[in-house]
């Protein structure tokens, strides 16, 4: 199998000979710069004695209860434990689930947005799948779509709403339409919802609530994944889940026992505290909301959606812009072309709004001024 280098590897190659003139600010990776809440840190310390136990691949009951609590709080959905699998973050799911799902299909086909989170592509390579790239661009408001002929062929469609890197988000009605397509053309529909908890005012819709309201209450063919990483500034906790169609998840859980992806028991215990920390999560969300508002005020000609924490900024020559901004101002952003194929993302850079607002303000102002001058 031949995999493309990850975007951050390409970035390091791009800037390897550059020595910036100023202190470094990294706005490349979606890594929260806010401290992990104290209650989660305390829970982690207090759970260390659980290291003496082998972790369960299935997951402990208290973790299921906390994820169920989150789904009830966030989407007013009461899922059975058979409709949920706790996971070791979500990247591993996005990589190994397609391999599981498509393993017995002779000529499997996947579809996912372009540009994309690169693990989608890795999964398609590992599962030897044909791929339909759903192009995201300004002309279609960065919304994914497939033709009827493509939907007749596809076995697995991965959506990503709210979207990384564009921030564009599908409405509940748009998600319902995708659910209808999944049922009508009998493909599995998975929505990567890792940015669902970062928004300004109104929370984005989820694929499971769309499915339920449409009448597909058993979530046939429908799955959602999510993670605690952004919601509680805890990416190293590696707590995520996949939820939805119990018939699919039953066999997938058996498959997972062979993968060695059991979440360490102290992390399961800590995560069970984190998933229930709704008030603290709202406090963190408001910080990102302030950052989004700030970005909207500074980049007035760029569509910045009130979801996720990225700015998808058009700069014309993204490679030169990235190198010169890094050299002259010590600010590192990610070229959009590193996130897509067939020129998707070309001309854009992705900016992660992960610092506190006072720190971020002069950085974004510097980027806006640098762009306006056009000296790159």
Would you list the domain boundaries of the chain?
A: 7-36+279-371, 38-277
Q: What is the pLDDT of residue 319?
A: 98
Q: How far apart are CA 74 and CA 71, in angstroms?
A: 5
Compute the average pLDDT of residues 136-141: 97
Q: What rounded mean pLDDT belongs to the chain?
A: 97
User: Is the distance from CB of 98 to CB of 155 less than 8 angstroms?
Assistant: no
DSSP count for the chain of H helices, then E strands: 13, 12
Among the listed residues 43, 45, 49, the one whose alpha carbon sits nearest the alpha carbon of residue 63: 43
* pLDDT attached to residue 276: 97
DSSP structural state of residue 4: P
The mean per-residue pLDDT over the stretch 8-24 comes to 94
If we measure between CA atoms, which residue out of 239, 302, 283, 334 comes closest to residue 30? 334
Task: Check whether 21 has a pLDDT greater than 90.
Answer: no
- Protein fold of 7-36+279-371: 3.90.1150
Question: In this predicted model, what pLDDT tens digit does every residue of 23-55 receive, in sequence order?
Answer: 899 999 999 899 999 999 999 999 999 999 999
Cα torsion 272, 275, 278, 283 to 10°: value is 110
DSSP 335: E
> Smallest Cα–Cα separation from 89: which of 288, 250, 267, 353?
267
Place of tokens 């339920």: 212
Over residues 281-323, the pLDDT tens digits come to 999 999 999 999 999 999 999 999 999 999 999 999 999 999 9
Q: Do residues 169 and 163 make contact, with C-beta atoms less than 8 angstroms apart?
A: yes
CA angle at 40 for the pair 38 and 46, rounded to the nearest 5°: 100
Task: Say how far apart CA 106 and CA 129 lie, in whole Å.
Answer: 9
Distance CA 95, CA 120 (A): 7
- Cα 137 vs. chain centroid, distance in angstroms? 18
Q: What angle do CA 294, 335, 293 make, to 5 degrees?
A: 10
Q: What is the pLDDT of residue 1?
A: 86
In tens, the pLDDT along 225-236 reads 999 999 999 999
What is the per-residue pLDDT for 39? 97
Distance (Å, whole) CA 130 – CA 123? 11
Helix boundaries (H) for the chain: 7-15, 38-46, 61-75, 91-102, 119-126, 148-153, 172-185, 207-214, 246-256, 265-274, 278-298, 318-329, 357-373
Q: Is the pLDDT of residue 178 over 90?
A: yes
**Is 127 within 8 Å of 98 (Cβ atoms)?**
yes
CATH dotted code for 38-277: 3.40.640.10
Residue among 201, 133, 137 at smallest CA distance from 168: 137
Angle at which helix 91-102 crosses helix 246-256, to 10 degrees, equals: 100
Name the pLDDT band for 375 (thresholds 50, 70, 90).
confident
Residue 205 in tokens: 């819709």
Determine the straight-line distance between the first and last CA of the chain, rounded to whole angstroms: 37
Q: What is the pLDDT of residue 23?
A: 87
Question: Of the candidates 203, 247, 239, which has an alpha carbon nearest to the alpha carbon of residue 223?
Answer: 247
Q: Are 18 and 325 in contact (CB under 8 A)?
A: no
Residues 6+ apart with CB under 8 A from 162: 168, 169, 193, 195, 196, 198, 199, 204, 305, 307, 308
Span 257-285, pLDDT tens digits: 999 999 999 999 999 999 999 999 999 99
């Amino acid at each position: 199998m031949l995999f493309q280098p990850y975007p951050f590897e390409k970035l390091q190659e791009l800037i390897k000979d550059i020595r910036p003139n100023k202190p470094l600010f990294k706005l490349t990776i979606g890594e929260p710069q806010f401290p992990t809440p104290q209650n989660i840190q305390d829970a982690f310390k207090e759970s260390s004695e659980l290291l003496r136990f082998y972790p369960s691949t299935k997951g402990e009951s208290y973790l299921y209860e906390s994820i169920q609590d989150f789904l009830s709080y966030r989407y007013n959905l009461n899922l059975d434990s058979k409709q949920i699998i706790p996971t070791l973050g979500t990247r591993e799911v996005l990589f190994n689930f397609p391999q599981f799902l498509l393993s017995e299909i002779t000529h499997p086909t996947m579809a996912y947005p372009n540009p994309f989170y690169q693990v989608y592509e890795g999964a398609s390579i590992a599962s030897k799948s044909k791929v339909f790239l759903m192009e995201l661009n300004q002309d279609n408001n960065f919304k994914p779509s497939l033709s009827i002929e493509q939907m007749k062929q596809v076995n697995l469609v991965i959506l990503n709403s709210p979207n990384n890197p564009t921030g564009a988000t599908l409405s509940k009605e748009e998600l319902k339409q995708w659910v209808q397509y999944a049922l009508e053309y009998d493909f599995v529909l998975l929505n990567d919802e890792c940015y669902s908890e970062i928004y300004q005012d109104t929370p984005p819709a989820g694929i499971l609530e769309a499915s339920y309201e449409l009448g597909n209450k058993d979530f046939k063919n429908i799955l959602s994944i999510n993670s605690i990483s952004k919601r509680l500034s805890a990416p190293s906790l590696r707590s995520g889940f996949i939820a939805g169609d119990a018939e699919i998840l039953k066999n997938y859980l058996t498959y997972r026992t062979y993968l060695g992806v059991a979440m360490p028991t102290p992390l399961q215990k800590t995560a069970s505290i984190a998933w229930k920390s709704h008030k603290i999560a709202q406090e963190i969300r408001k910080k990102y909301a302030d950052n989004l508002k700030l970005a909207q005020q500074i980049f007035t000609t760029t569509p910045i959606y009130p979801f996720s924490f990225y700015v998808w900024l058009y700069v014309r020559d993204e490679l030169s812009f990235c190198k010169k901004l890094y050299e002259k101002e010590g600010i590192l952003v990610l070229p959009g072309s590193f996130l897509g194929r067939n020129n998707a993302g070309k001309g854009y850079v992705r900016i992660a709004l992960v610092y506190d607002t006072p720190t971020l303000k002069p950085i974004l102002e510097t980027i806006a001024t640098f762009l306006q001058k056009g000296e790159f």
